[in-house]
Amino acid sequence: MADTLKRSAGRNLAKLATKPAAADIIECFPLPIAVLDHTGEAVLLNKLFNQKYRQEILHSQSVRETLHESGAGWKTLNIPHGVNDAVACRAQTVDLPAGSMLIFDDTADEKALRELDQLETQVSALRRLCSTDVLTGAWNRRHFEEVVVAELERGVRHRQPVSLVLFDIDHFKRINDTYGHQAGDLVLRELVSVVRATIRSIDMLFRWGGEEFVVIAASTGYRGSAALAEKIREAVETHLFQGVGSVTVSLGVAERLAPESAETWFRRLDDALYLAKNNGRNRVWVERLGSSDLWAAESGPSVVRLVWQEAYECGEPTIDAQHLELFALANAALDASFKTAEPRGPFEAAIDKLLAHIVKHFADEEAILDARGYSDLARHKAAHASLLAQADKLRAAVAADRTSTGELVQFLADKVIARHLFAADRKFFPLFANQSAQGSK
């Protein structure tokens, strides 16, 4: 995947730099700017950069170190000047779709800083533009290659599975040959709308290439992803496409197995799609292997863990993400509580982190519900206050070494999960009933 990006980096970045909205601003910007590709080679140097610096400084050690710290803000560095001299200035790196932009600040001009904010807004808009497939509006393959890395890291960190659903349109060439390529393009766009209305808010749809698409099913093993793939298959089959009529898709499903490389995972996914097509098309083929089974085997039946279920999702991205994080932090606290041979400190630290998250989550959830005009908000706030009071008592008991794993499990599994998240929270789920389809767009 990385090789694909590198091969097209210069071409993509050159296109970005030549867009009038970007190139004009960069060229006339009142600070020196260098736009670089993924190899560190200059694609565009603005007027002020050429006036103040030589291109060779981009290969200096201080600049190279700054390039590896995108998003870290301003960094003071020494720029080579002459044979033995150096000039001190500040610099920061801004990520671009196929490279980076290095901005130098050797002034304290407030106007320049305001214009820098405007430039970053332009860059954000261009980044979104470069992450989207022009024809269908789905995320593009380049964006997939960025997102999937973050999903893999998050999955391993929280011991949450991640799966991919790869699908393509059956006999798409026949559609183009019969109805024309313009009709084929319309089918692709309509297919994206159908799939977006079917997948969940946490799932992401990408155009893989041609008539192939891929869905990242976050926090979902191959079993749940197989059900998701079947929903997509059925939704497409029952939909009548404008001017074409019935269309079907074949789908392959593969959950990532933590030790394997991304290349091996993708090979299994591609094989699953091949088997779906080779066995009659308009079907789902599931590769029944993944980290969820591996982690279950490692945990064994005696270890207590809270398992996230798709039924806990309400469709509001912030609330769903915080609920998922709550499960991860609760399991970390449970794991720490079982390690009786270790000092009490790690258990207390895990509890503190969990309770801090609960406090923030309750506040954020209340604000979201208030904005939506939730009629039962007063009672919901009272339930939150009661749980926080019980959480304070639990923390005091932990500090005094007067609590057990059983008490922790009862508070988390019974009071927070069963009674509150799965009972009280479900009452506001209808507020976000239509947000699942919209959130993926």
Residue 424 CB coordination number (10 Å): 15
User: Phi and psi of 437, rounded to 5°?
Assistant: -70, -35
User: What tokens were used for 324?
Assistant: 């998922």
Point out the catalytic residue in the list 151, 190, 211, 313: 211
In angstroms, the CA 179 to CA 173 distance is 10
For helices 2-18 and 141-158, the axis angle rounded to 10 degrees is 130
Q: Can you give 161-217 as a three-state secondary structure string?
A: CEEEEEEEECCHHHHHHHHCHHHHHHHHHHHHHHHHCCCCCCCEEEEEECCEEEEEE
**Which residues does 348 contact at the CB level (< 8 Å), separation at least 6?**
398, 399
Which DSSP helix (H) or strand (E) runs through 386? helix 377-399
In angstroms, the CA 193 to CA 313 distance is 22
In angstroms, the CA 191 to CA 188 distance is 5
**Residue 151 falls in the annotated catalytic set:** no
Nearest CA among 142, 209, 205 for reference residue 169? 209
Q: Given the DSSP bridges, would you call strands 204-209 and 212-218 parallel, antiparallel or unpaired?
A: antiparallel
In angstroms, the CA 42 to CA 33 distance is 10
Nearest CA among 387, 378, 397 for reference residue 417? 387
Nearest CA among 150, 170, 173 for reference residue 162? 150
91 residue type, one letter: A
User: What tokens were used for 155?
Assistant: 């999955």
Catalytic residues: 211
